[in-house]
């Protein structure tokens, strides 16, 4: 489903990804964790070429890319890749002038060229799926943060992606709204949706992930099943990271 090899990405003189190798099988959930600045969001954005890597290779489904200094990726190939992925951002990124229904219809009409009637039926079904059937005609400013994020998930699902990418989807939410978003994501996991998720929600990661990777300074330093990574870290840096997280919880 997803395979990356020796992925590198720099911004000016700052090397953010330093040769990352990763495989994610169809129907599996990958959770990416790590301290701020470790490269996890950049890695996620490279998976749908919101950031184009400097070196390495990426395969997602039938889309394959080789990156090097002189490589120029055709725009049609980038579009093809992005049609295979759905991205959910921490800041929702809904169209403010469209209702919840309109937001979920938009990609179907503009990207998939569906009729309005077809797009509406699909959008209504997806809003019901995320528990927002009664908010179809509400605008983003009329919705809570948790409701907006659930609309964003429905919008990402509307184009029938092969994989959903989540960039810290609950970090902008008030604590009491986090659960309603995680509940939708857990349901998607049980249905076999392939997902790659950047998050700080460790309990959610333990419950949902098939595999966790811990990143630090642009590299993967631990990876494996949740129980192995979270409970028995092998590297000193990983132990330090989890001790810090546990210390934050104790302080709360």
Q: What value does the mean pLDDT take over residues 57-76?
A: 89
Count of H helices and E strands in the chain?
9, 10
Q: What mean pLDDT, rounded, does the chain reach?
A: 92
Bigger pLDDT: 37 or 70?
A: 37
Class of residue 55 by CB neighbours under 10 A (exposed 0-12, middle 13-18, buried 19+): middle
Report phi then psi at 148, rounded to 5: -60, -40
Bigger pLDDT: 247 or 194?
A: 194
Reported confidence tier of residue 79, pLDDT bands at 50, 70, 90? confident
Tens digit of pLDDT for each residue in 82-95?
A: 889 999 998 888 99
251 pLDDT higher than 80: no
173 pLDDT higher than 80: yes
Tens digit of pLDDT for each residue in 110-132?
A: 988 899 999 999 999 999 999 99
What's the pLDDT at 243?
Answer: 87
Angle at 82 between CA 64 and CA 137, to 5 degrees: 165
Spatial separation of the C-alpha atoms in residues 106 and 252, rounded to whole Å: 41
Select from 67, 51, 28 the least CA-distant residue to 164: 28
pTM, whole model, 2 decimals? 0.92
For 173, which DSSP code?
S
What's the pLDDT at 244?
Answer: 82
248 pLDDT higher than 70: no
Tens digit of pLDDT for each residue in 139-151?
A: 999 999 999 999 9
What's the pLDDT at 221?
Answer: 96
Q: What value does the mean pLDDT take over residues 183-201?
A: 94
């Amino acid at each position: 489903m997803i395979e990356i090899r020796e992925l590198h990405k720099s911004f000016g003189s700052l090397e953010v990804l330093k040769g990352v190798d990763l495989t994610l099988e169809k129907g599996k959930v990958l959770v990416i964790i790590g301290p701020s600045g470790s490269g996890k969001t950049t890695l996620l954005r490279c998976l749908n070429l919101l950031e184009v890597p400097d070196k390495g290779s990426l395969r997602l489904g039938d889309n394959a890319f080789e990156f090097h200094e002189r490589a120029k990726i055709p725009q049609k190939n980038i579009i093809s890749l992005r049609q295979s992925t759905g991205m959910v951002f921490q800041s929702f990124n809904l169209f403010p002038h469209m209702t919840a229904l309109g937001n979920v219809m938009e990609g179907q009409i503009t990207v998939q060229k569906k009729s309005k009637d077809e797009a509406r039926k699909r959008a209504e079904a997806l809003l019901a799926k995320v528990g927002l059937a009664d908010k179809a005609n509400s605008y983003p400013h009329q919705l809570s943060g948790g409701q907006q994020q659930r609309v964003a998930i429905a919008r990402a699902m509307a184009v029938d992606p092969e994989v959903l990418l989540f960039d810290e989807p609950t970090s902008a939410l008030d604590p009491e709204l986090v659960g309603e978003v995680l509940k939708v994501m857990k349901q998607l996991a049980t249905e076999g949706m392939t997902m790659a998720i950047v998050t700080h929600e460790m309990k959610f990661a333990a419950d949902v992930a098939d595999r966790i990777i811990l990143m630090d300074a642009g590299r993967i330093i631990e990876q494996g099943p949740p129980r192995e990574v979270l409970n028995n870290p092998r590297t000193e840096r990983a132990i330090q990271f989890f001790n810090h997280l546990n210390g934050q919880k104790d302080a709360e």
